[in-house]
A and B are shown apart, each in its own frame.
Chain A
Amino acid sequence: MLTLKGIINGERTLPYLLLAPLLLLLFTVILFPFLWNFYISLFDLKTTNLLTGAPFTGLSNYLKLFHDPTFFHSLGVSVYFVIGSLLGQFGLGVILALILHYHPGPARFFRVVFIVPWILSALIIGYSWIWMYNYQGGMINSILRTVGLQPVHWLNNMRMALWALVIANIWRGTPFTMLFVEAGLKTIPSEPYEAARVDGATSWQSFWYITVPLLRPTLTINLILTTMWTFNLFDTILVMTRGGPANATLTTAMYMYKSAFEYGLLSYGAAIAIVMLAINALLAVLYFYTVGRQK
C-alpha cells in the first residue's frame, strides 16, 4: 500500500524527494525561460504587437534566420572572436597557472594582480579599452609612436576592430582560466610524479603524461565555460563597437540583442537565442567527446 511514510522511507523515492526543491528551482530559473523563449520564437512577436497579439508563425523565424546573410555573417564573426579569445585566454591562462603553481612565493601577490580584470565590470573594461585604443592619445598608440611605429585605428578599422575586441576579451578572461587551472593543478597528487622521477622521466614527460591527462577534466570544463561565455558575450562589444564598423564586430550575441531590443523583433531575437543555445550545447558535447575523453 502506497503511504507517505512508505514513499519517504523508500530507498528509490527518497533521493527524488530530496532533489525536488532543487529541480523545481532549476525548472523555474532555467528550463521555464528556455521553454518560454522557444515558445515565443514560434510567433511573430514584435514591440508593435505585444498588445494586439502576435500571429503564430511556426518555424518561420528559423527559416528566415537561415536565409539571413547578416546572421551567417555574425556567426562567422563569432567563430573568429571565440577562437581568438580561447587561444589567448587558454594559452596565457595555463602558462600563468603553471608559473604560479611552481613558484608559490610570488604567486600570492601576482594572483591578486592577475585577478583584477576578472572582477571588473564589463562596462568598465569596455570603456577602459576604448581609451587605450584611442587613435590620438591612447596608451597603445602612444607606445607604438614611441618605438617608431605607425599608430593603428584599432576600433575604426574593419580588419583590426575584431582583433582589438579579442585582445580586450583575452585580458578580461585569462584570470579565470589561470585560477581554474591552478586549482586543478593543486588536486593532482605528488605520487605519480615521484614514481615517474624514479622511472627516469624528464620534466616534459611528467608534464605531458601525468599533468595533462590528470588536468583533462579541469581543462574540459574550463574550455566549455569560456567558449560559452565568449560566444554569449555582448556587453563589452556593445560598449566598444556596438557591432561596427560596418558589422565587422557583429557577433551572434550582439545580433540577437540588436534584433530583440533595438529593432523590436522579439521572436526573431528569441529564435537567434535558441540557435545559440543549440550551438553551445553542441560544442559542450564535442568537448566532452574529444578533449574530455578519459583514456
Chain B
Amino acid sequence: MHMVKRYLAWTLVAILGLSVVALAGPTVIKVWESEGYGLEAVEQTIESLVPGIDLQISQYPYNELRMKLSTTLATGDPSVAPDIVMVDSIWLGEFVEGSYLANLSDVVSKEATDWFPAFRDGSQWPAGSGKYYGIWYDTDVRATMYWPDLLQKAGVNPGDLLYWNTAIPAIKKLNDALASEGIGGFRLDMGGAYAADFFFYPLLWSEGGDILKTVNGKLEPAFNSEAGVRALQFLVDLVKKAGVEPQMQCFWGNDWAARKWAVYIHGNWATSESRFPNTTAQEREQKVAVLPYPVSEPGKVPVTLSGGWIMTIPAILQQKAPDRFAEACKVLQAYIRADVMAEYGSALARIPVRAALMAEPYKSQLAKNIEFFNFYSELASIARVRPAIPQWNQVADAVFEAMQKAIFQGVDPQKALDDAATKVRSILGS
C-alpha cells in the first residue's frame, strides 16, 4: 500500500511538472521589422529549426521603426525590447554608437566570410573593423531599366544608354518621339535625398570618386571632387540638354512598370512581380530589359548602390537577459542558414548578399523567381554601400541640396558641391 502511494505521488508530481511545462508554452521571440519587409515568409521554417519558439513578427512604418527602436532600447528594460530587429543598413552607426546593439562577432563572423565584401564590411562598425553588430540579410541593386519596344519605336539603340555622351541625345530622342503618347523618355526622381542614391553616388563612384574620405583619422567630404562635378554635370545635362523633367514624387517603379516612362534608373524591385503582378520571371524578362549604369566613357566600370537590412539583436538582452539573448542568437543563426536565406529570397525576390546563394542548388531556386538574376546578383557582388555614420541623414540632405541647386537653380555643380562640402565638414566636425 505504501509503495502504491509512493508511485501515485511520483506520478502526480510528474504530471504536474509536465503540465507546468505545457502551460509555459513556447518561448516567444519578438521580431521587429519595417513595413513590407517579409521575414514572415520563412516563419514556419525558423520555428521548425529552433524548436520551442513562437516567432511574433511586428511591422512598423520605416521612420516609426527607427524612433521606436531608439526610444524602446533607451529605456534599458529588456521586457519591452524585441529579441531580433531589422535595422536599415544606414542606421547601423547610429544604433551602435547609442549602445543599442549587441556585438555579435562570436555569433556571425564565421558565417559572414561568405558574404560579399560590401555587405560583410557593412555589418561591422566601424565598417571593416571586424566587430559585427548584426548581419546584412538581403539587398537590392540599382540599374538602368527600359522598355525595348518603346526604344525601338523611337529609333533608339539600347547601347546608347551605356555612355553619357550617347545617352543624352538618345533620351532627348525618346522624349520627343514618345511625348505625343504621354510617355516620358527618362524618369529623373528629385523628390528627396534618395535621389542621390539613385542618380549621384553610383555615377560618382564609377568616375572614381567617393562620398567621404578619412584624413588623419577624421571623416571629410570627398564628393566635391572632379568625379563628383562630372557626375552632377551629367544630371544637369539630362535636364538642360535632353529635356528631362525632374519628378518630385516617386512611385518606386510603379509608373515605369505602367509604361509611363521608357527608361528609368531604379532598384531591382521595379522589374519584380510586385510591379508586374501574375507574371513569371521569364515573362518579365521578355517584357523589359536592364543595363548597367551609364558611364562617362568606355573603360569606366559602372557601379551600383545597394541598400538592405541588417538582422541584429539588442544589446540590452546580452546585458540583462542572457537566456533570451542565447535564444535570439539561435534564431538569428537559423535565419542566416543558406537554405533559409534562399527560401526567403525566392519567396520575396530579394537579391542575395552571399556567395553560397550564387551557386547551386540555391541559384536555380532564386533565378526561378528573380528576373535577371545573374545580372542583379553580379551587380550585388561588386556593389557599394553608403557610409552608415550617425550623421548620414544630414550628409545625404546636404548632397541632395547641392543636386537641387545645380539642377533647379542653375548653380555651377562645382560651387553647389563645394557649398555642400562646407556644410558636411561642419556636420562631421572635421
Contacts and interface: CB of A to CB of B under 8 A. Distances in A.
A120 interface: no
Interface string B405-425: 100110000000000000000
A51 B73 contact: yes
Q: Report the contact-size class of chain B (Cβ under 8 Å from the partner).
A: 20 to 34
Interface stretch (A102-110, A169-177, A243-251): A243-251
A135 B245 contact: yes
Given A47-B98, A50-B98, A245 B70 contact: no
B74 interface: yes
A195 to B, nearest CB: 57
A49 B401 contact: no
B249 A130 contact: yes
Interface stretch (A15-23, A152-160, A180-188, A214-222): A152-160
A135 B184 CA distance: 12
A8 B98 CA distance: 53
Contacts of B401: 244, 246-247
Interface in A224-242: 241-242
Interface in B232-253: 245-246, 248-249
Contacts of B391: 263
Contact of B97 (A48, A136, A156, A247): A48
Contacts, number: 72
Contacts of A130: 248-249
A94 to B, nearest CB: 34
A242 B191 CA distance: 8
Given A262-B393, A264-B94, A264-B390, A51 B100 contact: yes
A3 interface: no
A262 B393 CA distance: 7
A244 B408 CA distance: 11
A50 B73 CA distance: 9
Interface residues of A, number: 27
Interface string B248-272: 1100000000000000000000000
Interface string B58-73: 0000010001001101
A52 B63 contact: no
A244 B391 CA distance: 19
A157 B409 CA distance: 8
Contact of A48 (B94, B393, B397, B409): B94
B404 interface: yes
A156 B98 contact: no
B102 to A, nearest CB: 13
- A interface, by DSSP: helix, strand, loop or mixed? loop
A262 B391 CA distance: 10
Interface in A256-272: 258, 261-264
B76 interface: yes
B87 to A, nearest CB: 12
B404 A245 contact: yes
Nearest to A245: B404
A261 B408 contact: no
Contacts of A52: 98-99
B70 A264 contact: yes
A246 B94 contact: no
B286 interface: no
Given A156-B246, A242-B192, A51 B404 contact: no
A51 B315 CA distance: 11
A246 B245 CA distance: 17
A130 B190 CA distance: 14
A263 B394 CA distance: 6
B405 to A, nearest CB: 5
Contacts of B405: 246
Contacts of A155: 248
A162 to B, nearest CB: 13
B92 to A, nearest CB: 12
A245 B98 contact: no
Nearest to A137: B182
Contacts of B191: 242, 244
Nearest to B184: A136
B408 A156 contact: yes
- Residue among B245, B397, B400 having the largest count of chain A Cβ atoms under 10 Å: B397
Given A156-B408, A158-B408, A246-B408, A51 B98 contact: yes
29 contacts: A46-B98, A46-B390, A47-B94, A47-B98, A47-B390, A48-B98, A49-B97, A50-B70, A51-B74, A52-B99, A130-B249, A135-B245, A136-B245, A153-B245, A156-B190, A156-B408, A157-B408, A241-B248, A245-B190, A245-B404, A245-B408, A246-B408, A258-B397, A261-B63, A261-B67, A262-B63, A263-B391, A264-B94, A264-B390
Given A47-B98, A245-B404, 9 more contacts: A50-B71, A130-B248, A134-B249, A136-B182, A136-B245, A153-B245, A244-B191, A246-B405, A264-B94
